[in-house]
C-alpha cells in the first residue's frame, strides 16, 4: 500500500469518526427541539382554552342581573348557576394541571356541572316572555352561543396538540429525549358522561 492509499484510508476513518460523533448530536438537538416546540404549542392551546372559559365566566354576572329583573323568577335555578360558577372558578387552570390527570378531571367535572346549571337556567328563562322580549336577553344568548362554540373548538384543538406531543415522546427517538429530559405525558379533555346534559344554547336559540 502506497502513501497515498494510507492517507486516504486515514482520512476516511476520520470522516467516519466525525459522522459517528456529530450525527448523534445533531439528531439529539433536532429531536429535543421538536418536542420543545410541541410542548410550547400545547401550552398555547391550553391558554386559548383558559381564555374561552374565562369569557363564559365573565358573561354570567350580566346574565344574573338580567334574570333578576324578572318577577317571580325561580330563585333556586339562579342560585344553582351562581354556585356552579363559583365552584368552577375556584379551580385554577395552571399549566401543571396538564401533567395531573386527577386535577384536570376535577376541573372538567366542575365545568360540566356549570354547563348543566347554565343550560337549565336558560330553559327556565324561556318560560318568561318579558325576558325573551328584551334586547339584553337576545344579546346574551348570542354571546353565550358563541362562547360555547369557542370552548368546544379550543378543547378540540388542545386535544389534537396533546395527541401529537404524547405520540412524539412515546415513539423512538422521542422516547429517549423524554427519558433524558423528563418530558411527561399530558392529559386530554375526555368529557363527563355522568353529568346531566341539558339543551345547548344553540338549540334554545333555534327553538325560539
**Does residue 58 belong to any structural domain of this protein?**
no
CA 17 to chain centre: 46
For 12-44, how does the pLDDT look when each residue is reduced to its tens digit (9 = 90+)? 666 666 666 666 666 777 788 999 999 999 999
CA distance 187 to 98: 5
Domain count, the chain: 1
**Does residue 12 belong to any structural domain of this protein?**
no
pTM: 0.77
CA 145 to chain centre: 18
Cβ atoms of 28 and 177 closer than 8 Å:
yes
**Does residue 135 belong to any structural domain of this protein?**
yes
Give the domain range for residue 95. 73-208
**Does residue 49 belong to any structural domain of this protein?**
no
Give the pLDDT of residue 192. 47
**Does residue 114 belong to any structural domain of this protein?**
yes
Give the pLDDT of residue 132. 77
Give the pLDDT of residue 51. 93
Residue whose C-alpha cell reads 362554540 in the numeric block: 149
Give the pLDDT of residue 206. 46
CA distance 141 to 66: 12
**Does residue 23 belong to any structural domain of this protein?**
no
Q: DSSP letters along 136-190, please? A: HHHHHHHHHHHHHHHHHHHHHHHHHHHHHHHHHHHSTTHHHHHHHHT----PPP-
Give the pLDDT of residue 72. 63
**Does residue 54 belong to any structural domain of this protein?**
no
Quick one: residue 169, left, alpha or beta (phi over 0 = left, psi -120 to 50 = alpha)?
alpha
**Does residue 24 belong to any structural domain of this protein?**
no
Measured in degrees and rounded to the nearest 5, phi and psi for residue 180 equal -75, -35
Quick one: which H or E segment has residue 13?
helix 3-68
Give the pLDDT of residue 208. 45
Residues of the chain with pLDDT under 70: 1-26, 69-73, 191-208
Amino acid at each position: 500500500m502506497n502513501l497515498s492509499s494510507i492517507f486516504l484510508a486515514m482520512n476516511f476513518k476520520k470522516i467516519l469518526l466525525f459522522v459517528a460523533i456529530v450525527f448523534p448530536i445533531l439528531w439529539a438537538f433536532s429531536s429535543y427541539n421538536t418536542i420543545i416546540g410541541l410542548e410550547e404549542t400545547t401550552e398555547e392551546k391550553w391558554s386559548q382554552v383558559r381564555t374561552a372559559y374565562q369569557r363564559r365566566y365573565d358573561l354570567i354576572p350580566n346574565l344574573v342581573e338580567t334574570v333578576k329583573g324578572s318577577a317571580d323568577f325561580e330563585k333556586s335555578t339562579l342560585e344553582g348557576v351562581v354556585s356552579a360558577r363559583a365552584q368552577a372558578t375556584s379551580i385554577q387552570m395552571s399549566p401543571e394541571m396538564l401533567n395531573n390527570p386527577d386535577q384536570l378531571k376535577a376541573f372538567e367535572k366542575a365545568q360540566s356541572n356549570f354547563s348543566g346549571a347554565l343550560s337549565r337556567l336558560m330553559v327556565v328563562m324561556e318560560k318568561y316572555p318579558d325576558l325573551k322580549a328584551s334586547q339584553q336577553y337576545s344579546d346574551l344568548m348570542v354571546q353565550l352561543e358563541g362562547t360555547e362554540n369557542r370552548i368546544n373548538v379550543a378543547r378540540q384543538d388542545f386535544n389534537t396538540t396533546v395527541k401529537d406531543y404524547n405520540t412524539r415522546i412515546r415513539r423512538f427517538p422521542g422516547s429517549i429525549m423524554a427519558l433524558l429530559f423528563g418530558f411527561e405525558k399530558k392529559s386530554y379533555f375526555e368529557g363527563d358522561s355522568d353529568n346531566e346534559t341539558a339543551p345547548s344554547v344553540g338549540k334554545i336559540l333555534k327553538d325560539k
